[in-house]
């Protein structure tokens, strides 16, 4: 594994939605071994911020830089090393977990964990070949999260990753996050649940507190 340090910088980001300023002049950076938990009330722009960081949405002002270069100019490297799990699982219900992850790997590059190992880690052994249509919502969420392991992602961007997971699943995913950040990865996530991470590099960024200040 190439353990080159990573860095993502948000530089003076602004987001305006329906004539309402969600945030402006937002700057922060994140590097290897760090994690940011975004907090804020509903409608404060957490999801919009994550979509801007992914390059799915353009910021109204400012830019996002990966390794110091704006992401639009560095997208091949950025998109092989970044993985995003949004509100939607991004998996096809007619296809099995295996088929879904195989496509993810050919779109984003494959890591050194095999698909079977990734699914095993998320306790999906025995469900690899079943169309995900037959899985429960929580199991589908786990397939989506298995994508983080099966691709070569060093930066995880997660929007409400714990949705529909059971208590055991949440603990499992928190463990994976700790391992990932501990191994020099980085992570930005939102969550309505309390996130219990044991790595030291966890910061909280509260979007509604900024607005009040």
Partner 1 sequence: MTPGRAFLDLLRRDLLLAMRRRSELANPLLFFVMVIVLFPLGVGAEPKLLAQMSAGVVWVAALLAALLTLDSIFRSDFEDGTLEQILIGAHPVPMLVLAKVIAHWLVTGLPLLLVAPVLATFLGMNPDAIGALMLSLLLGTPVLSLIGSIGVALTVGLRRGGVILSLLVLPLYVPVLIFGAAAVDSAASGMPVTGQMYIMAAFLVLAVTLAPLAAAAALRISLS
- Give CA angle at 9 (51, 174), nearest 5°: 65
**What DSSP character marks residue 131?**
B
Strand segments (E) across the chain: 7-17, 20-31, 34-39, 61-66, 69-70, 82-85, 155-159, 186-190, 202-206
* Least distance in angstroms from the C-beta of 152 to partner 1: 10
Selected from 16, 95, 130, 172, the binder of partner 1 by CB under 8 A is 95
Using rule CB under 8 A, residue 31 touches partner 1: no
55 belongs to the binding site for partner 1 (CB under 8 A)? yes
131 near partner 1 (CB under 8 A): yes
Q: Is 137 in the site for partner 1 (CB under 8 A)?
A: no
What CA–CA distance (Å, rounded) separates 72 from 166? 37
Closer CB to partner 1, 80 or 208, in the complex:
80
Name which of 33 and 122 has its Cβ closer to partner 1. 122
Closest distance of CB 182 from partner 1, Å: 25
Site membership for partner 1, residue 75 (CB under 8 A): yes
DSSP string, 160-188: STTTT--HHHHHHHHHHHHHHHHTT-EEE
User: What is the closest distance, in whole angstroms, from the C-beta atom of residue 213 to partner 1 in the complex?
Assistant: 28
Per-position x/- string for 108-127, each x denoting binding to partner 1 as judged by CB under 8 A, each - no binding = xxx-----------------
Is 20 exposed, middle or buried, given 0-12, 13-18 or 19+ CB atoms closer than 10 A?
A: exposed
Measured between its terminal Cα atoms, the distance across the chain in Å is 42
Residues near partner 1 (CB under 8 A) are 51, 54-58, 75-76, 79-80, 82, 84, 86-95, 99, 102-110, 131
């Amino acid at each position: 594994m190439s353990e080159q340090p990573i860095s993502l910088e948000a530089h003076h980001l602004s987001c305006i939605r329906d004539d309402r300023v969600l945030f402006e002049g937002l700057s922060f950076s994140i590097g290897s071994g760090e994690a940011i938990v975004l907090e804020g009330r509903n409608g404060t722009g957490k999801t919009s911020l994550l979509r801007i960081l992914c390059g799915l949405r353009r910021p109204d002002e400012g830019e996002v830089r990966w390794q110091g270069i704006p992401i639009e100019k560095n997208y091949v490297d950025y998109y092989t090393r970044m993985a995003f799990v949004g509100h939607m699982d991004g998996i096809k219900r007619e296809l099995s977990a295996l088929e879904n992850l195989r496509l993810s790997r050919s779109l984003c590059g494959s890591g050194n964990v095999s698909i079977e190992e990734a699914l095993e880690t998320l306790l999906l052994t025995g469900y690899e070949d079943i169309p995900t249509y037959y899985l429960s919502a929580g199991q589908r969420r786990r397939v989506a999260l298995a994508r983080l392991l099966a691709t070569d992602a060093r930066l995880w961007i997660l929007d409400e990753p714990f949705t529909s997971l059971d208590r055991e699943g949440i603990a499992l995913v928190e463990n994976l996050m700790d391992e990932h950040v501990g191994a020099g990865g980085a992570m930005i996530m939102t969550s309505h649940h309390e996130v219990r991470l044991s790595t030291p590099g966890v910061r909280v960024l509260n979007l509604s507190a900024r607005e009040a200040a």
